[in-house]
Structure 1
Amino acid sequence: MDCSSEQLSESPECAYKLLFKAISMIPKSHFACFLIFFFLYFLYNFLEFHFLEDAFTAFRGSPISLTYNPASEIYQDVVSKCRILHGRYLATPWMSSPHIQTTLLNFFGRPPAVTYTRQLYRATDGGTIALDWLLYSDVLGDGRLKDSSISKDDTTPIVIIIPGLTSDSTAPYLKHLAWGTAKCGWNVVVSNHRGLGGISVTSDCFYNAGWTEDIREVIHYLHREHPRAPLLIIGTSIGANILVKFLGEDGENIPIGGAVAICSPWDLLIGDRFISRRLVQKLYDRALAIGLQGYAKMHEPQYTRLANWEGIEKSRSIRDFDNYATCHVGKFETVDTYYRHCSSSSFVAKVAVPLLCISSLDDPVCTKEAIPWDECRLNKNIVLATTKHGGHLAFFEGPTASGLWWVRATCEYLSVLLSSSHMHIQKKTMSCVPLECSIDQGPYLNVTDGMVAAVGNELITHVQEFKQLQNTLTVDLDSSTKVVSDCSNKEAKTTSSPPLVDLKSSKIFTTMRQQLDRIVQQSNASFWILSYIAVLSTPLLGVALHFIFKRKFKNAMVRKLVG
């Protein structure tokens, strides 16, 4: 039925009929083009492409933004000489998306061929850490070190690398980093997390985002074995969070000359909120949770005993895994407690080592919202470099995406730092760590029957206090024993001994009281610590009472014999 103009104005049905007739006359190829255009537009925005933005700037890239303290000597004498950090970063054009860069990093990373030499380090709690070495001679073709060993007097810098979450030395980005740093003439060692790198967990301790004890042990071990070799350290992703937290915890008392933190999450609580916000972030959350589940399955016997295994298997996110696994093993009250306790942002102000931090503003995993801008600006030892694009640990550059920009920037920074006078020198000081609930403490120490107790720097301070107390009491006990011997051999001259013994006893109890007051002021002593004091003081108390009442016993015996 044809619709006249009068019918069209009176009946809307005729208008719709004409519209459908017009649509039916459009070629299907035009529909296909429209759908393709709509899909590409959606994909361009969903994956956050910036190809057109780069094209409008003639593919010059975006400048690197540097945040630092105006009075920072690290910036004035080191970073200011780094040409790469004062240049621009342009992502590979056909990878101009943070999501494509991050995704292809693990599948298309195109890493160089790297052959590590493995060393197994046994931690003090019985855990095993895999140290994978790459010597500069292996990369540069220098045959002088055919036995792949480093002498104790070697002065070649050693670069320590801390991997990211569930990553080990075989990750493509770590191979890029290890190869790049070794080409600079440095020896490289990747300190794998516990249970990764094909190594079994040999204790009830597992690593987490704030676990700093392993890297602390490894650093001090390497410093003892190679005291003349400068130590440098690089942390990536969660490894960067661990690094910054460690630097803040130990302050000046670190044998590290310089450090670099790449794509740190900074604040885990903010990161947790961010990664569950949008659909694309939820995909990363799910992928990382699958990786954590795979890690747990490799160590199922320990997790079955220490954590909620059924919950681990049902975990759909990182937060779920931390709720059913990390909080159980680490004895954290809640997931938020764990995130607050292990976030490195609260330790930035205490960093005393020259530290370069590199982050991307479009990082799809570690959000820019968590970057502690003001804290980094206030610390004269920190320089924060941020790029507009780059993804998470990717920063591909060049037409073939053969290299990672942050690897070049890191190597240049460490080279300039090594040739400067700003390498950190260890200063042994007593660190003062704020007291917190023991359930919030890490690292974790196996106590008995599979139970895991939290142990932090607070307990280490107590141990040092008791060692000092024990040494003091041992000296006093030896002196008192000597007095006992003298008194027994010279009974005729005992009249001068009691004042000496009373003075010595007074000194002993005064020392004990001072030490106990210091410990009580710092924290509430636990039952076993008080028991230790009782056991230690019992023999000493007996000696003191012996001399206090000796004259009374002697006089009583004389009166009894005379009577």
Structure 2
Amino acid sequence: MENSLNETDSALEETKTSHRDIDEEDSKAQIDDSGNQGSTKRMDGSLRRMSRNLSKTLTRQSSSIAEALPETTTGWTVFTSVILSAILGYEVQLQHRLTHPPVTFCQNATGSVIEQVYKKLTESPDHILSRSIAPSLFVGTRGTISSTAAYFMGGPSSASQKYMRFREIITMSQDGANIAVDWEIPLQPKQETSNSKEQQVDQSKCKSEILEGPIQKPVVIILHGINNDASFGYMKSLQRTFCDRGWNAASMNFRGTAIRLTTPRGYNGAYTGDLRSLVYHIAGRMAPNVPIFLVGNSLGANIMTKYLGEEGLAGTLPSCVAGGASLGNPLLLDSSNVKFPFSVLMALGVKKIYLDNWKSIRALKDDYSRQSFHKGLMASTIEAVDNAVAPIFIRNDEFYPYGVKIGYRNGEHYWFDASSYRHVRHISVPFLNLTAQDDFLVSRPSRNKLGYCIGNPNVMVVETRCGGHLGWQESPPDTAFGSSSWADVATADFFDAVMKTNTELSGTAIGHNETETVTLYESSVVGPGNMEKDLKQIQKDSIAFQRTIKPRL
């Protein structure tokens, strides 16, 4: 009997156990069915709690800040002074880190003009290539701000009675295009105290000397950058610097800038015909042994470098041209390397010039030209604009007699023809190439083509720690914003040293004639196959005269 009862109890226990298992499985199934809803509710709850905690934290911090702020005028004065002192202290430290002399690269050819020029520019610690460049606070210490200031500030005033400004319109012989040349010339000291009638007569004489000749003082021709003209601050600053030396300054406005186009072809970065015509015009007015110098900025530097190389190779450079200076020159022109937002801004500037001169551009009646301009106007970047309108650009042969042609195959064909690094090795006069390490537009391509520059014994390359694109504002700043920057003074000192050296070596300020140029470059032209080999040898033989710059911090 007991065994039967035990068996019955065991069976009941097994039945209860099986029922509990079934109940647990049912409960698990119900939990699984409602799992997603539970997880969502828990997540929502966590987010709400996090939001409340964050709000409380911010409220407490805001209250703490509000309680910490001063309540009196004196307190606010002290508080503001502390903040400004901290900012100024950081800026002074940054200025100190950036203050260094420039680095100079050139060939160490004993007795050459460049060697003599370099010695004159480094004779003492105070000379332009020996002394440290201290960038101006808040502007010169930052490349982008420095560049913006150079472009958009007005430059020195034109109201001074020490100088006279006027505009000359010159017609290009190639296609009848007109360009405007803005002259600034120094007046004699006696004219400042003379009466108005005498002053007008004297100014008329000075103007007549420039327009008819013979011009008795050195002339510096200045070229501007892309989408600019001679009215920009950096152009006026250069003009004033040269006038303060007693020289005449002529700022060239590219065709389609400053005045309306008279032909349907605007300027570009490869065409040197307009500069060639201008130099011929002015050279015909120069008195014997009075030099002409050329200065290019940005795209204008590329055009000027290409022009000097073309003329140097053929031996056709006018004998009165004594030297050149290139500021912010990319050397390698390739719009596909221009990054946002500068690619868009450059494109907008080019399209604005097209629209300003649309009346003349409409003279192109053929469908292909019209379609090219339409594509250019619709393009969003400078690369796309170049690709669209390059087939209808005006251009010239790079060899004498520099025949005028129309069109490139595409943008790459145009960029290759425009790149001045291919021509810098043929420059036959003393030449300064000046760049800044923080130039966001041209520093890298210019440094990559350094070998082509120092491959020419007439070329001096100067690189500064700071300066931006055409900025180079130096501390302490001048009393009037927009007056001479470090680069302006360096360029003028370079030209002055060239004239002194030429006078010492040849008895004239020019020191250059066509016969010498032809003889020199008949022996220096190198075929493409040997160019790379020669450049490697040149880089081994070349020397950096001064390399005092420290690694960046």
User: Fold-level match, TM-score > 0.5?
Assistant: yes
In structure 2, what residue type is equivalent to 1:295? I
In structure 1, what residue type is equivalent to 2:149? L
Contact map agreement 1:354 1:424 (CA 8 A) in 2: no
Give the direction of change, closer, same or farther, for the CA distance of 1:227–1:207 in structure 2 (3 Å limit). farther
Count of aligned pairs:
403
The corresponding residue for 2:106 is 68
Instruction: Please tell me whether Structure 1 or Structure 2 has the larger radius of gyration of its CA atoms.
Output: 2
Contact map agreement 1:303 1:325 (CA 8 A) in 2: no
In 1, the alpha carbon distance for the partners of 2:237 and 2:94 equals 31
Can you list the C-alpha shifts for 1:249-278, whole angstroms capped at 9, x where unaligned?
111431210111111121012xx34322xx
Deviation at 1:16, TM superposition (A): 6.4
The corresponding residue for 2:442 is 366
Root-mean-square deviation over aligned CA pairs? 3.3
The corresponding residue for 2:278 is 218
Structure 2: where are the runs of 5+ without partners? 1-42, 67-86, 122-126, 193-198, 395-406, 529-553
Alignment of 1:21-100 (within 5 A): 23-24=57-58, 26-28=60-62, 52=90, 55=93, 58=96, 61-71=99-109, 73-82=112-121, 83-95=127-139, 96-100=141-145
In structure 2, what residue type is equivalent to 1:291? G
Contact map agreement 2:136 2:475 (CA 8 A) in 1: yes
In structure 2, what residue type is equivalent to 1:79? Y
In 2, the alpha carbon distance for the partners of 1:346 and 1:160 equals 23
Contact map agreement 2:309 2:424 (CA 8 A) in 1: yes
- SS of 1:55 mapped into structure 2: helix
Contact map agreement 1:135 1:188 (CA 8 A) in 2: yes
Contact map agreement 2:435 2:443 (CA 8 A) in 1: no
The corresponding residue for 1:206 is 266
In 1, the alpha carbon distance for the partners of 2:223 and 2:189 equals 20
In 2, the alpha carbon distance for the partners of 1:301 and 1:196 equals 14
The corresponding residue for 2:323 is 258
State the structure with bigger RCO (CA 8 A, min sep 6), 1 or 2. 2
In structure 2, what residue type is equivalent to 1:387? T
- SS of 1:117 mapped into structure 2: strand
Aligned with 1:425 (options 506, 512, 536) = 512
Contact map agreement 1:139 1:183 (CA 8 A) in 2: no
Contact map agreement 1:180 1:408 (CA 8 A) in 2: yes
The corresponding residue for 1:274 is 337
Deviation at 1:196, TM superposition (A): 1.2
Aligned with 1:234 (options 280, 295, 298) = 295
Give the direction of change, closer, same or farther, for the CA distance of 1:30–1:218 in structure 2 (3 Å limit). farther
Aligned with 2:184 (options 107, 128, 134) = 134
Structure 1 length as normaliser, TM-score? 0.65
Can you list the C-alpha shifts for 1:78-120, whole angstroms capped at 9, x where unaligned?
1222211222222211212111111222333443326621111
Contact map agreement 2:168 2:182 (CA 8 A) in 1: yes
Matched, 1:103 2:142: no
The corresponding residue for 2:157 is 112
- SS of 1:407 mapped into structure 2: helix
Structure 1: where are the runs of 5+ without partners? 1-10, 33-48, 277-281, 437-563
The corresponding residue for 1:416 is 497
Alignment of 1:243-392 (within 5 A): 243-251=304-312, 252-255=315-318, 256-269=321-334, 272-276=335-339, 282-304=340-362, 305=364, 306-307=369-370, 308-330=372-394, 331-371=407-447, 372-392=449-469
Deviation at 1:52, TM superposition (A): 4.6
Give the direction of change, closer, same or farther, for the CA distance of 1:206–1:227 in structure 2 (3 Å limit). farther
Contact map agreement 1:353 1:381 (CA 8 A) in 2: yes
Contact map agreement 1:51 1:93 (CA 8 A) in 2: no
In structure 2, what residue type is equivalent to 1:383? M
Contact map agreement 2:336 2:383 (CA 8 A) in 1: no
In structure 1, what residue type is equivalent to 2:414? Y
Alignment of 1:398-477 (within 5 A): 398-400=475-477, 402=481, 403=483, 404-421=485-502, 423-427=510-514, 429=518
Deviation at 1:203, TM superposition (A): 2.6
In 2, the alpha carbon distance for the partners of 1:17 and 1:323 equals 53
Give the direction of change, closer, same or farther, for the CA distance of 1:51–1:424 in structure 2 (3 Å limit). farther
Contact map agreement 1:362 1:368 (CA 8 A) in 2: no
Aligned with 2:470 (options 389, 393, 404) = 393
Can you list the C-alpha shifts for 1:185-216, whole angstroms capped at 9, x where unaligned?
11111121111112x22234322101111111
Alignment of 1:124-163 (within 5 A): 124=173, 125-137=175-187, 144-147=202-205, 148-150=207-209, 152-163=213-224
In structure 2, what residue type is equivalent to 1:382? V
- SS of 1:88 mapped into structure 2: coil
- SS of 1:84 mapped into structure 2: coil
Give the direction of change, closer, same or farther, for the CA distance of 1:190–1:353 in structure 2 (3 Å limit). same
In 1, the alpha carbon distance for the partners of 2:488 and 2:190 equals 18
Contact map agreement 2:96 2:134 (CA 8 A) in 1: no
In 2, the alpha carbon distance for the partners of 1:348 and 1:241 equals 10
